[in-house]
């Protein structure tokens, strides 16, 4: 009946319920499952992200799996269903919908977290937004309506490939020293300008500061110079970083 089922997952219970439904339907219809995980790219501070995770999912809720895509793929294998996994960064609803068009899915399944009140006003409902704009039928799996114990039971297997220890970069004293000399040099140069003009405007040097140069006291010129040289120093610093960035990241 359905050729290609798209399911959105995030590691929390409602979306895993949706994933289980997707695999069940696919195994019945012989369809393919595309599982997508969308990470939002938001201008949030780290503390805000923490606070939001609590508000978004409810206090005390933890993600049931850190790698929901692997979990769904493993659950699919167990039931003989091919699961294609996609990880994206962007706006949640927009990404789900554009992927649905891209892979020509004929059913989208999403979980509904059942938020109410202010939280719903603030976060909105992705499930509702997907349903509203989707180019195909949508199945919304409501919170706590699907038993996901068997899906979670594949977890140990899903996590079988132990996360590799992050490769710690090797300390390169030469790079470190170069950075130190460059940043330190620029800082020293700027400190000279800054402390020079700042200390000139203390009581003992006030006559020097008040010397008239081109119609204005010397100190005011030094003030302008501090601003201009600040912009110049920043430009030099950023230019080198840009150059370096282009070199190492291509």
Partner 1 sequence: MDNPIALTIVVLSIFLTMYISYYNRRYARTTAEFYVAGGKIPWRLNGVAMLGDYCSAASFLGVAGAVALVGVDGWWLALGFFAAWIVLLLVMAGPLKSVGKYTVADVLAARFGEKERGIRIVAMLSTLVLCMFYLVPQIVGAGHLFKLLLGWDYLPTVLATGTLMAAYVIMGGMRGTTYNQAIQGIVLFGAMLLLLIAVSVTHFGGNPLAIIDKGQEMVPPAVVAKEEGAVEMLAQMETAEAAAAVTAARELMADAPSALTPGVQLRDLLNQASLVLGLFLGVLGLPHILIRFYTVRDATAARRSAEFTIWGLAIFYAAVFLVGLAVMYVLYPTLVQLLAEGQTGVARNMSLPMLGELLGGEVALGIIAAGALAAMLSTSSGLLISATTSLAHDLYAAILKPQSTDRERVIFAKTGAGILAALAIGLAVWLRDQNVAVLVGMCFGIAASTFAPALVFAVWWTRLTRQAVMAGMGVGLVTSVVFTFARFFNLPDFLGIPVLANPALYGVPVAVFTTVLVTYLTKDTGRVEEFLASAHNN
**13, 114 in Cβ contact below 8 A?**
no
**Shortest separation between residue 168's beta carbon and partner 1, angstroms:** 5
Return the number of the residue (66 or 183) whose C-beta is nearest partner 1. Answer: 183
Return the number of the residue (40 or 150) whose C-beta is nearest partner 1. Answer: 40
Six token digits for residue 227 = 């601003």
**Shortest separation between residue 8's beta carbon and partner 1, angstroms:** 12
Angle of CA points 18, 31, 134, to nearest 5°: 55
List 38's β-bridge partners, or say none: 88
Close Cβ partners of 89 (under 8 Å, ≥ 6 residues apart): 38, 39, 40, 41
Pairing of strands 216-217, 212-213: antiparallel
Pairing of strands 107-112, 138-142: parallel
User: Sheet harboring 32-39: ordered strands across?
Assistant: 83-89, 32-39, 4-8, 107-112, 138-142
> Does residue 249 sit in helix, strand or coil?
helix
**Shortest separation between residue 239's beta carbon and partner 1, angstroms:** 9
Return the number of the residue (142 or 244) whose C-beta is nearest partner 1. Answer: 244
Q: What is the CA radius of gyration of the chain?
A: 29
Return the number of the residue (82 or 191) whose C-beta is nearest partner 1. Answer: 191
**Shortest separation between residue 48's beta carbon and partner 1, angstroms:** 7
Return the number of the residue (30 or 58) whose C-beta is nearest partner 1. Answer: 58
**Shortest separation between residue 47's beta carbon and partner 1, angstroms:** 5
Return the number of the residue (42 or 66) whose C-beta is nearest partner 1. Answer: 42
**Shortest separation between residue 27's beta carbon and partner 1, angstroms:** 30
Six token digits for residue 48 = 């805000």
């Amino acid at each position: 009946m359905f050729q290609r089922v798209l399911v959105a997952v995030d590691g929390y219970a409602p979306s895993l319920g949706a994933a289980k439904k997707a695999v069940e339907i696919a195994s019945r219809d012989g369809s393919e499952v595309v599982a997508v995980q969308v990470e939002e790219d938001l201008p949030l501070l780290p503390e805000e992200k923490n606070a939001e995770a609590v508000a978004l999912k409810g206090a005390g809720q933890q993600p049931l799996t850190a790698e929901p895509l692997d979990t769904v793929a493993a659950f699919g294998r167990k039931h003989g269903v091919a699961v294609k996994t996609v990880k994206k960064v962007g706006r949640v609803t927009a990404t789900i919908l554009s992927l649905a068009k891209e892979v020509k899915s004929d059913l989208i399944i999403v979980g509904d977290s059942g938020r109410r009140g202010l939280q719903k006003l603030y976060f909105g409902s992705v499930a509702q937004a997907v349903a509203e704009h989707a180019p195909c039928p949508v199945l919304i799996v409501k919170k706590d309506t699907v038993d996901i114990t068997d899906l979670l039971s594949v977890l140990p297997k899903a996590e079988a490939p132990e996360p590799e220890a992050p490769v710690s970069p090797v300390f390169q004293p030469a790079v470190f020293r170069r950075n130190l000399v460059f940043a330190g040099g620029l800082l020293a140069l700027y400190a000279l300008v800054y402390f020079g003009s700042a200390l000139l405007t203390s009581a003992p040097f006030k006559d020097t500061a008040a010397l008239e140069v081109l119609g204005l006291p010397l100190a005011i010129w030094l003030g302008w110079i501090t601003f201009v040289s600040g912009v110049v120093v920043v430009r030099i610093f950023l230019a080198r970083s840009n150059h370096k960035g282009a070199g190492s990241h291509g």
